Structure formats: structure tokens, C-alpha cells
């Protein structure tokens, strides 16, 4: 009789272990699928014009704008011109499809920049920006900076004292 009880216990234990293994495999598969789905969404570039793309339509103050350029043709040569909400050239980036067919660029709008454009207050960054592609027939890319901050960037982006616009 004890032999039968031992066999019944082994069958129950074996069944329980099998069910646990199946549940773990299913849960792992669901987790993996959801992770892949999120990763693919993060990789997709949303705001596109020809070989040029930025990752979003809207950014916060202090947030980096990531740009990717892919599959430039050898005859595509020109300038990427970033225009601020005041309509002034904030920055300019040359490109040449003969030299590089693909590259990545990122920038963070600030109150001061290398081009000498002064946006006196961080709130001057707020508004509609445009990326223009000179030398190629691709349409402009528009994006907006909203009046909301990336945490911790208030210390980096400061008003310019004695600023004359």
C-alpha cells in the first residue's frame, strides 16, 4: 500500500512541476514579446522627410533632438538648417552623400549656441522649430518644444543676462 501512495505522490508532484514549467515558459514568452514590441517602437523614427528623420514631433526644454540620415545618394549635397521659433538659423549641419551616406546627429536647443543666436530666456526655446534641407528637394521637418522641462536641466539652460534680441 505504501508503494501505491508513493507512486501517487510522484505523479502529483510531477504534474505540479510540469504545470509550473509551462506557466513560466508562457510568462517568459509574453514578457519577451512585449519587450520586443517596445524596442521596435523606440527604434522607429516618426518624423521623416526622405533620408532625414527625427525621433519625435514634440520635445521638452532640455531634451535632445536625435536625427538620423540614412541612404543619402551621392548627388545629395547640402545643409541641414535648424530654424528657431523666431525664424532665425539656430544651427547648420553640412551633408554630402558622396562622403557619407548615413550618419546620426543630435542637438539640444539652448539659450546660447555656436552660431551666435541668442534666445535670452529658456522660454524663448518654446515654440515651433523647423529643419530645412538646402540643396535637396526634401520637405522640411517641423517639431515643437513645449513649455515643460526635462528634470535637472534648469541648471544647464539659464537666462542670458543683459541680452539684446
- Give the pLDDT of residue 39: 39
Residues in the chain: 165
Q: Which range (55-64, 78-87, 102-111, 155-164) has the least confidence?
A: 155-164
The answer to whether residues 1 and 34 belong to one domain is: yes
The answer to whether residue 74 sits within a structural domain is yes
Same domain, 92 and 122: yes
Q: pLDDT digits over 59-95, tens only?
A: 999 999 999 999 999 999 999 999 999 999 999 999 9
Domain assignment of residue 87, given as a range: 47-149
Q: Quick one: pLDDT band at residue 17, thresholds 50, 70, 90? A: confident
pLDDT tens profile 26-58: 766 665 555 544 434 445 678 999 999 999 999
Q: How many CA atoms within 13 Å lie on the side-chain side of 126?
A: 7
CA 103 to chain centre: 15
Looking at the structure, do residues 76 and 65 belong to the same domain, yes or no? yes
Which cell goes with 45?
A: 523614427
The answer to whether the predicted template modeling score (pTM) of the entire model surpasses 0.85 is no
150 closest CA partner among 110, 105, 103, 92: 110
Across residues 11-24, what is the average pLDDT?
A: 77
Note whether residue 156 is domain-resident.
no
Structurally, how many domains does the chain consist of? Answer: 2
Same domain flag for 9 and 70: no
Is 38 inside a domain boundary?
A: yes
Amino acid at each position: 500500500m505504501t508503494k501505491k501512495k508513493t507512486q501517487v505522490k510522484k505523479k502529483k508532484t510531477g504534474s505540479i512541476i510540469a504545470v509550473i514549467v509551462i506557466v513560466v515558459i508562457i510568462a517568459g514568452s509574453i514578457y519577451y514579446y512585449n519587450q520586443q514590441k517596445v524596442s521596435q517602437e523606440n527604434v522607429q523614427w516618426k518624423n521623416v522627410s526622405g533620408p532625414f528623420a527625427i525621433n519625435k514631433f514634440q520635445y521638452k526644454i532640455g531634451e535632445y533632438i536625435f536625427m538620423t540620415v540614412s541612404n543619402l545618394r551621392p548627388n545629395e549635397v547640402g545643409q541641414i538648417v535648424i530654424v528657431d521659433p523666431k525664424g532665425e538659423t539656430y544651427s547648420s549641419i553640412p551633408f554630402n552623400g558622396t562622403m557619407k551616406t548615413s550618419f546620426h546627429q543630435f542637438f539640444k536647443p539652448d539659450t546660447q549656441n555656436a552660431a551666435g543666436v541668442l534666445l535670452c530666456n529658456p522660454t524663448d526655446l518654446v515654440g515651433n522649430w523647423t529643419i530645412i534641407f538646402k540643396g535637396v528637394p526634401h520637405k522640411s521637418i517641423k517639431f515643437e518644444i513645449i513649455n515643460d522641462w526635462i528634470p535637472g536641466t534648469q541648471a544647464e539652460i539659464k537666462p542670458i543676462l543683459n541680452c539684446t534680441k
